[in-house]
Structure 1
């Protein structure tokens, strides 16, 4: 069977968590933050972060915010300041607000802000907040669950059910306990809504976080398909009915062109899960009930191409069929951008696995080649002996080189020592000569001594005969005595 997916022109999928009006009694309006337009509450219109909702006197309304039921009472004025996959934040400025928190996964946050305080819900439960702007008070009632209140300066205060207290201004001190259940019309209406949801058959097959899924009870029947699992078939439709036949495309910021079905049950099946042909009729597959489903402006479909309604906006590209991987059949459906990212991730994972398998095969081939060409035992012994001999030779060469270096260093030290001794003796001889020579005139030039290959004796003046000075080694012999070396030579007479 050819699988297909509805494709829209815009590339940004928009917010994936929305709020939707499930029930409206009286006059309730909302203002979209995307276009600042004010509209009457419409179950076919999704609400996103930044949208504002207010109820007139005597009016009540219920919204499914994906994981939480939000109810507004008489004179309520709320704004969804944050609404995404992990965070939900509501600002209540006046009136009554009821919250039924079904689930809060780890890392998620649900917060309610009033002019007096902030409430962070820590666990699933039932809560009610009443804000009186004239008295500047906020009444907090917890029937189930637990949370934390934050007053002026971020002062935290644990708040556990069951209890009800009223706080004035921005101080959490001095509050008085109040009756838990006032039993007014809003509480009675909320209890009736809770009982109706608890008895809904659709919530046994689909996730309660899908807005509009409870309305399928009155318009269709559930079945179990061996290929897809739980599947819902609409009643009171033509024999040749197909999805995207009765409705129109609406440009809804920030998602862009969005399918708006005319059927009263047409919200959940056209924005969550997907359509498939089972037998000879169309059925809606919601996906696993335990997983939070993302919102999409349009849905994938399988089988024959649905009818494209008239009046498509100029330049708009209507839904087209594109192949869908067989392993995706029965899997939860995500917006197109998420599918592209997931497909890229799957391709990357497959490429990494293929690369890993190729590396393992290459290593195995290398090991096998090494085993095939591994030398015999005798050859390995010869190689080992050869390596040992080479190591011994290298050690001997290193020792010889070390001994030679030591001998060279010793010779250098001895030569340096002999040279130092000779220089010391020469300096001593020069000092002795300077002490024995007579004083010379101030301007008398001094004859330079001529360097001889061997030291020659010098004759001292007769006026001051001195005993001969002998230098060992036949260096010099001064005076008129016997020569101390190979011979004696008279030096030049001194100048007078």
Structure 2
């Protein structure tokens, strides 16, 4: 295996492909996942961009908004929490990270189920008649209300507060409903009941069908809920506990059945076709074990760090004449990173971020207290691996497939494994610029 040995800040810079940033500039470690869509649901990346059709497995982060049409619903997972939007609801997410969730519910209803809260983590939702704070794990429903209908905070379990009235915050206990009515100043009352709505029944059904307690991964890992139903866990002598998907096509390869999307925070981001296709493509590594693909989540960490796609790209002239002849003049390819292989973020990040995004899968990594760079404590300086274990299973497509956010599987080019074994990698900077999203994306 080829390797270049680099030390100190230079290693971290090349790992990122760019000059390291300050930790304050890093993208958030936690994201949400659009886990279920029923009916017409739209997503807006930020207030300056237009609304677009939302799709399952899209990552959701600060600045994004969700909108549901009549008769539509949407489910959003954020680690151990799930949010369920009813029809004609608008949710503007102002902050989403490890420390806080802050959103504005402009209209409609949202059911929120929080299975766990980290120390110091806060959840607040602004409504037309006050700010709701969710103080404990539990199940809640917030109805924004209208000019005719009151704002309601229904606490099935847990504890909440609503603030904004003249008499200060109102505490709402499990089994109670806080009601805010009128116009400013608002009037707040408590009802000794917590009635279920059809949205609550839908939310409860989804939660019961998912994994209540994750196995072998952290509860902070977004998307873990689908793993037990969609695959099996087995212990291996080489990688420890490995998860195997049970229902995939015969020629299935990780990062082939889906499409690429583009986000200004992370760049090119993988959106998988499989209903379970979030956690295994944004955390951990993939390995061939006994002629089948297995996902290796790595050691359980309190705060796993999201990545847009854990792959190595190669492209353009650097792919080599054999691949160019087999494809077109501008092919681009990628393969899933294997266990122990370092992820090199193609977006501006700090040295601390490089360490954190890799630490769950590079077991012998620690942060150097002096220069804050990633260091392998057993093998000396950080090694940048050019030839990954999974390179012969790479997917190669014409560059416009990635740039145009087109489905990958049907566009994949037939490139022999021995050609892939000899392909040279190109810096991530060579990836194409995104084209405008096509209609319906």
TM bin (shorter chain): 0.5 to 0.7
Aligned to 1:130: 143
> d(CA) in 2 for partners of 1:350 and 1:109?
29
Indicate conservation of the 8 Å contact 1:8/1:317, yes or no.
no
The structure in which a higher percent of residues are helix is: 1
Indicate conservation of the 8 Å contact 1:10/1:256, yes or no.
no
Structure 1 gaps, min length 5: 302-307, 352-496
Q: CA deviation at 1:156?
A: 2.4
* Alignment map for 1:132-171 (pairs within 5 Å): 132-135=145-148, 137-152=150-165, 155-168=168-181, 169-171=183-185
Q: CA deviation at 1:289?
A: 5.0
> d(CA) in 2 for partners of 1:191 and 1:129?
15
Matched, 1:74 2:87: yes
Q: CA deviation at 1:277?
A: 3.5
Q: CA deviation at 1:347?
A: 6.6
> d(CA) in 2 for partners of 1:218 and 1:235?
9
1:216–1:156 Cα change, 3 Å: same
Q: CA deviation at 1:108?
A: 1.3
Q: Choose 124-133 or 31-40, whichever is displaced more.
A: 31-40
Aligned to 2:198: 185
Per chain length, whose mean CA-contact separation is higher, i.e. which structure has more relative contact order (CA < 8 Å, sep 6+)?
A: 2
Q: CA deviation at 1:107?
A: 1.6
> d(CA) in 2 for partners of 1:268 and 1:67?
13
> d(CA) in 1 for partners of 2:68 and 2:329?
34
> d(CA) in 1 for partners of 2:369 and 2:234?
34
Give the TM-score taking structure 2 as reference length: 0.64
Matched, 1:24 2:46: no
1:345–1:264 Cα change, 3 Å: same
Q: CA deviation at 1:346?
A: 3.3
Q: CA deviation at 1:100?
A: 0.7
* Alignment map for 1:235-254 (pairs within 5 Å): 235-237=246-248, 241-254=252-265
Aligned to 2:73: 60
> d(CA) in 2 for partners of 1:3 and 1:126?
51
> d(CA) in 1 for partners of 2:126 and 2:47?
22
Give the TM-score taking structure 1 as reference length: 0.58
| Secondary structure at the counterpart of residue 249 of structure 1 | strand
* Alignment map for 1:47-446 (pairs within 5 Å): 47-135=60-148, 137-152=150-165, 155-168=168-181, 169-171=183-185, 173-177=187-191, 179-181=193-195, 183-198=196-211, 203-237=214-248, 241-289=252-300, 291-299=302-310, 324=340, 337=349, 338=352, 340-341=354-355, 345-346=367-368, 348=370
Structure 2 gaps, min length 5: 5-13, 313-322, 357-364, 374-441
Aligned to 1:479: none
> d(CA) in 2 for partners of 1:282 and 1:235?
10
> d(CA) in 1 for partners of 2:74 and 2:327?
33
| Secondary structure at the counterpart of residue 193 of structure 1 | helix
Indicate conservation of the 8 Å contact 2:16/2:354, yes or no.
no
Indicate conservation of the 8 Å contact 1:129/1:141, yes or no.
yes
> d(CA) in 2 for partners of 1:254 and 1:210?
19
Q: Choose 16-25 or 111-120, whichever is displaced more.
A: 16-25
> d(CA) in 1 for partners of 2:369 and 2:247?
43
Indicate conservation of the 8 Å contact 1:9/1:317, yes or no.
no
Indicate conservation of the 8 Å contact 2:123/2:134, yes or no.
yes
Root-mean-square deviation (Å): 4.1
Larger Rg: 1
Tell me the alpha carbon deviations over residues 396-433 of structure 1, each in whole angstroms, 9 at most, x when there is no partner: xxxxxxxxxxxxxxxxxxxxxxxxxxxxxxxxxxxxxx
Q: CA deviation at 1:7?
A: 7.3
> d(CA) in 2 for partners of 1:109 and 1:70?
15
| Secondary structure at the counterpart of residue 204 of structure 1 | coil
1:177–1:297 Cα change, 3 Å: same
1:290–1:318 Cα change, 3 Å: closer
1:244–1:96 Cα change, 3 Å: closer
The structure in which a higher percent of residues are strand is: 2
Q: CA deviation at 1:127?
A: 0.7
